[in-house]
Copies of this chain bind each other. A is one copy, B any other.
């Protein structure tokens, strides 16, 4: 491993929380795993080029450390010497490797090296569209948790026409205790406020009915905790609420969260597939569909979970965002931007604060 040009600006792991700060344009350094994703490294490199082509002043302050194969990262570094540092790595954690074993064995993998750069304070945050299990394991072991956080959790922003919702946990923890889910809710609330810009997030508990007495014993226990300790608690959310805009944050265990998220992804993909079949089924349909095309594409883009750019892993000492394996260049661009925003908004520090306040 060769660190080509390490940044000298160190970031202290815990800073003063700034709950009311607007989106900041302060300089930020994000490690990007160039080897992560089904179409890596090309799509990752393209996503970075897109980000650097942006004229948004917020984007201008984003600097990157690229980790990955030397021949993939060096040309881009030469093209943007002011904004890119590189650390060449020789290994990759594949999508279907056992995460714990892979992280342990592949010390020179892009994911392990990327996390280490953050841990050492050479960068502020980490983005990868690689193996979710691999990134989670490496980030938890190397970067470590925020003090007081029992279990890091995956937050996913589900886009919906009437308002997006942060679903947490979307798959990190399949077996949970009530206090874990309470923390998921608290972390989701911080994220919705800090990154999504929702001033007073309405926080719900995913359950099978509205009343406090509904649901599993776990859900009832979590309800009692959330009612007591989450300021924005707005009661139980049902499955239908995931697409209704009635909540900003919906907390659940990672088993339910992962299944419901994949069901929704599958349904959106399946429905648009069926629409496409209808549109191509006859000449008159083709002509009619052509008229509607731009509006339908806009809707599809709006609902595209991938366009959000990635799922933040909350509860770690530095922001880590995991992109979808099938990310396109736009998803990569969005994901890096979301990672930078999480760092600028001091999400880990705000989470430390939120967790401490709730015991």
Known: A208-B255, A291-B284. A244 touches B270 (CB 8 A): yes
User: A94 → chain B, closest Cβ, in Å?
Assistant: 15
Interface: A36 (CB within 8 A):
no
- Say whether A260 contacts B239, CB under 8 Å: yes
Of B219, B242, B267, B285, the contact of A292 (CB 8 Å cutoff): B285
A242 to B265, CA, bound (A): 11
Of B243, B254, B287, the contact of A291 (CB 8 Å cutoff): B287
Copies of this chain present in the complex amount to 2
Interface: A256 (CB within 8 A):
yes
CB neighbours (8 Å) of A263 from chain B are: 239-240, 242-243, 260, 263-264
Interface: A161 (CB within 8 A):
yes
CB neighbours (8 Å) of A262 from chain B are: 238-240
Interface: A8 (CB within 8 A):
no
By beta carbon, the residue of chain B nearest A245 is B270
By beta carbon, the residue of chain B nearest A255 is B216
- Say whether A216 contacts B174, CB under 8 Å: yes
CB neighbours (8 Å) of A162 from chain B are: 270
Interface: A171 (CB within 8 A):
yes
Residue-wise, chain A 174-197 has the 8 Å CB interface mask toward B (1 for contact) of: 110000000000000000000000
Interface: A16 (CB within 8 A):
no
Q: A244, A267, A291: which has the most chain B beta carbons within 10 Å? A: A267
A303 to B243, CA, bound (A): 17
- Say whether B266 contacts A241, CB under 8 Å: yes
Segment 233-253 of A: residues with Cβ below 8 Å from B: 238-244, 252
Interface residues of A (CB under 8 A from B): 160-162, 171, 174-175, 206-208, 214-217, 219, 238-244, 252, 254-256, 258-271, 274-275, 278-279, 281, 284-285, 287-289, 291-292, 295-296, 299, 303
